[in-house]
Amino acid sequence: MSLKKPQSAVDAAAVEAAEVESKVTADVLEPETAPEKATVEQAAEPAPSTSTEVAEVQTHAVRAASQQQAAMASLAEQGFEGLQIDYTSFPQITLKDGEFNLSTGGVIPATANAGFKGRITATKMKYAFRIKTKSDDEDADVQFTDNLADAKDPLTKVGAKVKEWEDEDLPWEYKEYVDCYVMVEEVLGDTGKELEGQLVVCQIPQTSRGRLTGMLATAAMKYQQQPGDFLTHFTRGNKVTNVQFPFYPWDFKRVAE
């Protein structure tokens, strides 16, 4: 598999995740948000954003990502060689059935007074490709990548899988996610306390991305604060029921300090 050399430690983590068989099952995906029909051209040419608020938030996230790169560089200077961030480096958190599920096992309650608080250090786009089905198939074959152009390259894992599906005349789809890197400071509840003081990766689906963007944009415009300047309370929103597969979205609240 040939991928462009990553420019930062966070990029390295995303590329490594794209090359490893995903341990995330398809129940994380939210079928109600899928496009009617996906093509390689559509996947490789996403529409550009025209929102200045989104662009500003993305700029802050890029600055924050450099903190992780600097941390790795500092370790290297001190003689710690052979270290590399990959998909196993940080616990993964997904929101399923109204609770935060941990890749390390266990759950964190996600009610209004529960969830967890932490500082967002970076965000990274991720795309999940799978065969299009009429149900939420937990056994579906899912492939992840941080580069949509991989779908057009049969030498990449995603591209090879897309070609296989198309050769078999199987309809496929892709969904957008945001990997949100968070330094957890407080877990509200009796479970998940081991995450306090750790960097985690929250997998934010497309249906919750707007909520995250809105909260960060408000902090940037109204309070002139970057994501790492304040605590964010991660909870669940009200259940969305007017869709084929009802689900709980993520919710994000800026914590005044």
Instruction: List, in order, residues 6 or more apart from 207 with CB less than 8 Å away.
Output: 30, 32, 33, 240, 247, 249
Most confident of 51-55, 58-62, 93-97, 118-122: 118-122
Least reliable range by pLDDT among 13-27, 127-141, 149-163: 13-27
Mean pLDDT confidence for 63-76: 68
Full-prediction pTM beyond 0.75?
no
pLDDT band at 205 (very low <50, low <70, confident <90, very high): very high
Is pLDDT above 90 for 113?
no
| Higher pLDDT, residue 46 or 248 | 248
Question: Nearest CA to 88 among 200, 187, 203, 178?
Answer: 200
Q: What percent of the chain has pLDDT over 90?
A: 43
Residue position matching structure tokens 């944009």: 217
Looking at residue 207, its pLDDT comes to 93
**Which ranges of the chain does DSSP label H, i.e. alpha helix?**
9-19, 40-44, 52-77, 157-167, 206-222
pLDDT band at 70 (very low <50, low <70, confident <90, very high): confident
Determine contact, residues 101/32, Cβ cutoff 8 Å. Answer: no
Is pLDDT above 70 for 125?
yes
The whole-angstrom separation of Cα 105 and Cα 128 is: 22
What rounded mean pLDDT belongs to the chain? 77
Number of neighbours of residue 82 by Cβ within 10 angstroms:
5
